[in-house]
Amino acid sequence: MEHTFAMIKPDAFENADEICKIIEGADFKIAEKESLTLTPAKAKSFYGEHKDRAFFSGLIEFITSGTIVAMVLEKENAVVDWRSLLGPTNSKQAEEEAPDSIRARYGTDVQKNAAHGSDSPSAAEREIKFFFPEFDLTETHRTSQGEEAKEYLMMTVV
């Protein structure tokens, strides 16, 4: 089973529960989920590939401006399918081309675009390790947080 790294960005944090429902409705398991605020140093390291781009300082300021939700998603073809559910990078373009996508629904423009997804399996591995160093990428059929809660409820009822 394939894994990818997903992040709900500060501009969409208030919609995090709704976005997680969409993710689970699209057949992904949420194997890990943690809310945190990135420090500028950690954000610069995470987005290191963009360090020479004109938008880099704006991106770091934006991504450190509030709480984010870091997640590991599990599904067949998780990397490609999550990028497809996200839609194009620019939320304005997403509104035109993929109105049902997460970036169309919850983002605003090319920077405030609601969520992130790894762009390749190797990026997924690196980004998962960056946020969840203990995560075992070889394990499959992890339980979604929602299902875990359901199972817990059933156990307490019995």
Q: Is residue 105 a known part of a binding site?
A: no
Residue with tokens 């390790």: 129
Residue 59, phi then psi, degrees to nearest 5: -65, -45
x-marked contacts with Mg ion along 119-158 as a string, rule CB under 5 A:
x---------------------------------------
CB of 119 to Mg ion, least distance (A): 5
Q: Decide which of Mg ion, ligand GTP, none touches 113; Cβ closer than 5 to 8 Å per partner kind.
A: ligand GTP
Q: Is residue 55 a known part of a binding site?
A: yes
DSSP characters over 15-73: GHHHHHHHHHHTT-EEEEEEEE---HHHHHHHTGGGTTSTTHHHHHHHHTSS-EEEEEE
Residue with tokens 């963009």: 50
Residues 31-60 that bind ligand GTP (CB under 6 A): 50, 55, 58-59
CB closer to ligand GTP, 31 vs 94: 94
Pairing of strands 68-75, 2-8: antiparallel
Q: Is residue 126 a known part of a binding site?
A: no
Residues 112-151 that bind ligand GTP (CB under 6 A): 113, 116-117, 119
Residues tagged active-site = 116
